Structure 1
Amino acid sequence: MDAYIQGILILSGINLMAVLGLSLLTGFTGLFSFGHAGFMAIGGYTAAAMTVKYHMPFIPALLIGAIAASFVSAIIGALTLKLKGDYFCIATLGFGEATRLILDNVQYFGGARGWPGIPAYTNLTNVVIINIIAIVLLANLIRSKHGRNMIAVREEELASQIAGINVFKYKLISLMISAAYAGIAGGLMAHYMTFLQPKMFALTKSTELTIIVIFGGLGSISGSVLGALVLTSLPEILRAFSNWRLVIYGLAVIIIMITRPEGLMGGYEFTPQSMKKLFSNLKGKRLKSSEGRE
């Protein structure tokens, strides 16, 4: 495979890992976050520290990065999840920017100058395998009792509480799992770029992840996959337009938001059952059209 295309696919897979976690939090639990770049930073720097400074194998280092991000999210969640409406979103935004500013001043990780010399362990094979495992785990979680409780919290928080669902508990679980996914994404990015710098995890990164989730469709894992592939590769496809490519990228996102406010997939999932139903419907339409012509 061409190295350039392979690079785009790897970046899409890294973004997808973070987007899957954010999809659980935003799409299925109904909590908007603008701090996921902070969780990516924690996971990335932790995983890099494990491989560079402690010579740990790649996969255990990724898992430790995920645990670190999840642990921090538990602390943040305990302090902020009782906030209502937009206040939680603002709190996560503050957390993301605070994480970046702290890393700017931690010389152990290179500070604002960055941290070079991270081993290049991330490749297309391990990104694809990790993404498949992440999708399967997330799909099974959503279909479980716990996933249904998260969806109930998204639909009507007060009714869920009356029905006996521990709303705070499920919000916290969703946030911790979401942060763990973002932490793995950060670790993959660190070992693909072989360089980390705090500005890589600025507010624009969190915004990009949120846009991908909304673009793909809230409450759709398939939409997250499609959104990550489309929006990661689109700026590269438009590279020939030089300075105008980001303008066209933004315009394309706006058009989709206006024409399909529910996102590309709109809660729809690609499953064997849904595909079978789709093909049977298409077959039925063809038969009706052929009968009409006769």
Structure 2
Amino acid sequence: MLSRILIASAALGLATLPAASQSLPEAARGWTVTLGGTVTAVPLWMGSSRLGPMILPRLSLRAPGAPERFSSFDDGIAPAIVDLGWLRVGPNLTLMGARRARDDARLTGLANVGFTIEAGAFAELFPVEWLRLRAAVRHGIGGHAALVGNAGADIIWRPAPRWTISAGPRSFFGSDRYASTYFSVSAPESIASGLAAFQARGGLMKYGAVAQVAYRFDAGWTVTGFAAYDRLAGSAAAAPLVTQRGNVNQFTVGTSVTYSFTLGQ
């Protein structure tokens, strides 16, 4: 529900920008805004073998005169404040759903983890037009309240003007606090859940790859289909919750719809 509210709020706020742009100074006009939403089937919790639905917003900005650049479904909200074409830097916001025992009996006896907003910054580099290198660092607000980061690359192929196909590797890192929140089992939790006590450590949490296919319509709309595979690593892979009640292999599939418009036009 909170994800839906965030999407609606972003859409409502940004929808007023074209009208408001009439009063913008000339230098502020020409920014291209892309907004939309993603519907995804994701693991119910990190390490789960079952999938559940999740709705996430998408938002990006492109500076006046900057070329249109590739974006991926897993970028989160990432408006570029610095946009040199070959280099983009800006804030990064992603959302992580709550983990609650009432949603899955396999979590019985473990502490709930609330809904998390991860806020931070990203940087991406295009050494050549067909390759994107990207990294981000964020801190959780709410649920896990820990430091996380991710890095990856995308090989981009445009077989026709309207089509964009991409694929590339991904990695995800978490601090000790992140690992402990999701994978440690305290002595009281061990008694309540039947899982062995376990102390998780931070580091590489998972690695894998993503692929997506996007089609752009004339009216500014783009539809994207995507899939991702991750394999848990380190403490995440060794955690009793995963080895006894989950799976180290994690899958994600979904689709997104975005709309782009230019301020001042």
TM-score if structure 1 supplies the norm length? Answer: 0.22
1 or 2, which has the higher helix percentage?
1
1 or 2, which has the higher strand percentage?
2
Highest relative contact order (Cα 8 Å, sep 6+), 1 or 2? 1
